[in-house]
Amino acid sequence: MVIERFDLYGETAIRARNEELEIVLVPSWGSNLLSLRSLSKNLDLLRFPQCREEYEADPFMYGLPILFPPNRIADGRFEYNGREYRFNINDPSEHNHTHGLLFDAPWKLLRAEAEGERIVLETIIHSEEHEGILAQFPHLFTVHMKYVLEQTSLTVEATVSNRDSAPFPWGLGYHTTFNFPFNGSGDLASCRFALNADKQWVLDERFLPTGGLVDIPYSEQLREGKSLVGHALDDAFLTADAGANEAVLTDSGSGIRVVYGADEQFKHWVVYNHDSKQGYLCPEPYTWITNAPNLRQLPEELTGFRVLRPGEQAQTITRIRIEEVI
C-alpha cells in the first residue's frame, strides 16, 4: 500500500493505492475524489481532467464532486422555519442555483493513513471558515468525509453535524462522473447500465420536478441492464422499494463491472450522459430530490427533505465496488 502527497495542477493532492485500486483526492477542490483507477485493468474509471483550466471550466464533470445540497434550487431560494434562504444563481440560463455550497470550497485534510488492510483518507469543512457559504446558508455546520479503500472497493462516508442553535434542512449527493466505456476507445454497444428503480420524476423545461411521478417505460430493461447507445439521459429516478439500492455499470469490452451502492437515505438517482455520445455516464445518488425544499406540498418521506436539529448528526454511506466480467 502507498500513500503519498503530490502536486496536481498547482494543488496538493493525495494518492493512495493498494494492489487493486488507486485513488487521488484533492482536498482544496471541494474534497473531490478526482480519480479511481483499476490497476489490474489499467483503466481510469472516473473522468479525469487533463489540466487545471479544464477542471475549473466544469468541475462537476470530473471525479466525485460533493453536492450539498444536490442539483437545482429554483431561482436559488426557498423558505424554511420562517427564514428565506438565497443561494447564488450559478445556472443563469435556467435561473437556478445548482449543486450546492461545498464543491468549490477548500477542505482540510485530517488524515491519510493505512489501517491494517485498508487505507483511510479523511477531510473536513466548517461553515464558519467560509464567508461564501455562510452568506447563502447562515448556519454553523460541519461536514466530515471518510474515504476507505479496501481491496476492490471504495467506501465513502459523509457526516453532517449541526452546530447551530437553529434547525436546518440538508440534502447530499454526488455527481459521480464515470468514463463509459471505461476504456476511452471502447465501444458503448458492449456496455450496459442498470438501476433498481421503477418510477421517474416528471421534470419541467428547467429540469425541476413538477411533483409528478410516472412509470419508467423501459423499467425492466433498466433493472436488468440497458444499452445506452442513442439514449440521452438527464433524468431523475425514485429507487425501488425492494432490492439493493445500486447502479451497475458493466463494460464487457473492458472486462469491468462497477457496482455503485447507496444506503437507504439515498432514495433518488439522477442519471446524466448528455447526448449519450460523450464517453461518460453520471449516476448521482441523492438524499433528496432536486428542489426538494420547494416541494413541501409532497410528503417528506417521498422527496427526502430532511432537517437536522441543533446538536444532531446525520451519516450516509455509499460504496463503489469493482468486479471483473468474465
Mean pLDDT of 224-240: 97
Contact of 153 with 322, CB cutoff 8 Å:
yes
Place of cell 477548500: 106
Residue 184: predicted pLDDT: 83
HSE-up (13 A, CA, CB side) for residue 1: 15
Nearest by Cα to 15 from 223, 251, 39: 39
- Amino acid identity of residue 93, one-letter, is S
Nearest by Cα to 293 from 172, 175, 169: 169
Contact of 73 with 291, CB cutoff 8 Å:
yes
Residue 279: predicted pLDDT: 97
Give start and end residues of each alpha helix (H) in 2-126.
52-57
- Amino acid identity of residue 253, one-letter, is G
59/101 Cα distance (integer angstroms): 13
Mean pLDDT of 289-311: 98
Mean pLDDT of 135-141: 98
Kindly report the pTM of this predicted structure: 0.97
pLDDT-derived band at 21 (thresholds 50, 70, 90) equals very high
284/99 Cα distance (integer angstroms): 11
Active site residues: 175, 284
Average pLDDT, the chain: 97
Domains of the chain with bracketed CATH: 2-324 (2.70.98.10)
Q: How far is CA 128 from CA 84, 134, 175, in A?
A: 19, 6, 25
Contact of 258 with 249, CB cutoff 8 Å:
yes
Q: How far apart are the first and last CA of the chain?
A: 27
123/16 Cα distance (integer angstroms): 14
Mean pLDDT of 44-70: 97
- Amino acid identity of residue 267, one-letter, is K
176/148 Cα distance (integer angstroms): 17
pLDDT-derived band at 186 (thresholds 50, 70, 90) equals confident
Any idea what DSSP says for residue 129? G
Instruction: Please check the confidence at residue 326 and state whether its pLDDT lies above 80.
Output: no
> What is Dmax (Cα atoms) for the chain?
57
135 grid coordinates: 452568506
Contact of 281 with 270, CB cutoff 8 Å:
no
